[in-house]
Amino acid sequence: MKLRIKFSKCGPMVFIGHLDMMRYFQKAMRRAEVDISYSSGFSPHQIMSFAAPLGVGIASKGEYMDIGVDSLTTSAQVKDALNRVMVEGVKIESVKLLPENAENAMSSVAAAKYTISFREAYAPDFDLFGQIDDYLAQKEIRVVKETKKGSKEIDLKPHIYEFSFDNEKQEVSLLVDASSSGNIKPVFVMEDYYRFCGRVAGEFDFIVTREDTFTNIGTDEKPDFVPLDYVGEDY
């Protein structure tokens, strides 16, 4: 049986890297006495996988991991048991039972939504976001992206699903491709937009929060993005 767990990460915990978060949750499962499944072999490990690793320094309201379990209690009991052993800055938001045919969290990821605000001393002192429509109206947005295999030029435009600015809150909202084949980082989009406006983004300009992580239940031509826990159910 597989469970999908949604959690948030904020405060000092944003500086804890992905591998350390995995180790943290392995210990938390034991402390919460979750009947998690283990692999077979000489070195058994917990059956646990995460959706889209979060960069260090980024807060999130919508992180996901899948675990295998050998027995079930209820969603509420697992959620409460885990929250009792969580440290400050990490909170379990939901626990869902996945159908047998569900893809794992990592392969399900299609998009992620981010909110980007500005550090007090680094807010733009010009009408930065008056050109969003012009930026998105380009036939192509050619950029050079660094990958594990080196640099390559891509068209960024099809990977940006939503790009808007809330003038009252002074916040950017970005919905971008987060799949394994795309994986567009929000700061990468902001840096390119700054260049389009004739400006240079500073290293410490932005405060980034991941609002949620999505899978696509539509098609590539007509995507329908829903949160990763949409495919599960309470039990």
Q: In whole angstroms, give the CA distance from residue 137 to residue 52.
A: 29
pTM: 0.91
CB atoms under 10 Å from CB of 190, counted, come to 20
What would the two tokens of residue 59 be? 């807060």
Asked whether the predicted pLDDT for residue 221 surpasses 70, the reply is yes
CATH code at 2-106: 3.30.70.580
Q: pLDDT tens digits for 30-47? A: 999 999 999 988 889 999
Q: What share of the chain is helix, strand, coil (3-state, %, to 5)?
A: 25, 35, 40
pLDDT score, position 33: 95
Q: What is the pLDDT of residues 96-122, one digit of tens each?
A: 999 988 888 899 999 999 999 998 877
Q: What is the pLDDT of residues 24-83, one digit of tens each?
A: 999 999 999 999 999 988 889 999 999 988 989 999 999 999 999 999 889 999 999 999
For 79, what's the count of Cα atoms within 13 Å in the CB-facing half-sphere? Answer: 17
| Structure-block tokens of residue 95 | 């626990």
Between CA 38 and CA 43, with CA 40 as vertex, the angle to 5 degrees is 85
- List the structure tokens of 207: 């405060």
Q: What is the DSSP string of 177-200?
A: E-STTT---HHHHHHHHHHHTT--
196: which 2 tokens? Answer: 């389009």
